[in-house]
Structure 1
Amino acid sequence: MLDRALAAGVSASYVLMDSWFTHAPLIGEVVARGLDVIGMVKNDNKRFLVQGRKLSLKDLYAVASPVASKKHSILRSIRTELVCGTSVHVVFVRHRSKKNEWLAVLTTDLTLAVEDIIRIYAIRWDIEVFFKCTKSLLRLQKEFQGRSYDLLISHTTIVFSRYILLAWQHQQSTDARSFGGLFICYAKKSVRRIGR
């Protein structure tokens, strides 16, 4: 999928992943294509290399340094390596609903500040909202049943186009920045009437 996107001329700085995809082999494949990864890390049997030792995510949290940040939700961070040898920066943040627990986000871009890592990863939420809307409100999965790949792509394109139009309409009606065009339009009409 990334190869098709890159071949089509799509450019990106980061590939954002949820915890289902943030695994060393896939991260290595993405980095090999010249892209950086930012992804949530599942607390499973993954191992990270720290001074020659293989540590679990829980052990990595214990050795990570506390972060002095204006955002109290950012707890710790550490630069380490995945077992495959890819260098990563792991940031631990407080779990919103379970205050005694933490979540981990990693990136392969070692130049990013911890706040930027979290800010960029948060963009993923818009993607989740998009998929929820297309599946439940716009009936992406239930409105059309077809077996042809081309038909599925066509249907998906129509549903996504509907979403784009609805999102644009919502922005035009709620975002104060979009009212400027309306003001300019009416101002020009008023000037024309006064000038006559």
Structure 2
Amino acid sequence: MVKQLQQRYTYNGRQYTLPGLKKFVDFSSAGNMFGSLVVTTKTGIPVKIVFVRNRHKKSECLYLLSTDTSLNNAEIVRIYGNRWSIECFFKASKSFLKLGSEFQSRTLLLGYKTAERLYALERIEGKQEAVDRLDDVLYHKIPYISDYI
């Protein structure tokens, strides 16, 4: 996801910010939730920016950036959706397991990282039952393991 900073992208020979580029995207049809533009960065790299419109507030938009300009909009949104759920899992697991910057137990860290990788793989493969089982283990059993290490 790209933040609305003052980063400028080149489109049709001119420099634009993300809100400026949004004006070129056609959201006219009723069910059209996203559109895209292929632009170049200041370093000359071609990127595809997908604009995802907020259903409830049409003026708001998320910006998803991909360096693979051949992917269609739905595929980019799907990939970001998978990645976002993994990021949320990582943050929640870190919070539940109390893994701050001063974490010392290598055994617990190794177990956590293993569970994290399993979760990511199962999530990517779409195996919801396995994801639910991992959630149960991570949120209900692993926090108590740290009491014994």
TM bracket, shorter-chain basis = 0.5 to 0.7
Q: Percent identity at matched positions?
A: 32
| 1:172 to 1:78, Cα distance in 2 relative to 1, 3 A | closer
- The letter of the residue matching 2:15 is K
The offset of 1:77, in angstroms, is 1.2
Deviation at 1:135, TM superposition (A): 1.4
Gaps of 5+ in 2: 123-127, 134-149
Contact 2:90-2:116 within 8 A present in 1 as well: no
Unaligned ranges ≥5, structure 1? 1-39, 176-196
Greater than 6 Å deviation, 4+ residue runs: 164-168
The CA deviation at 1:138 is 2.0
Q: Is the 8 A contact 2:48 2:67 kept in 1?
A: yes
TM-score, normalising length from structure 2? 0.67
Q: RMSD of the TM alignment (CA)?
A: 3.4
Displacement of 1:139 in angstroms is 2.0
- Choose from 7, 24, 45 the match for 2:6: 45
Q: 1:117 aligns with which of 49, 52, 76?
A: 76
Larger Rg: 1
1:62 aligns with 2:15: no
- Determine if contact 1:93/1:103 at 8 Å carries over to the other structure: yes
C-alpha distance in structure 2 between counterparts of 1:92 and 1:166, whole Å: 29
Does the 8 Å contact 2:36/2:49 carry over to 1? yes
Which residue number corresponds to residue 129 of structure 2?
171
Aligned 8 A contact 2:27 2:33 in 1: no
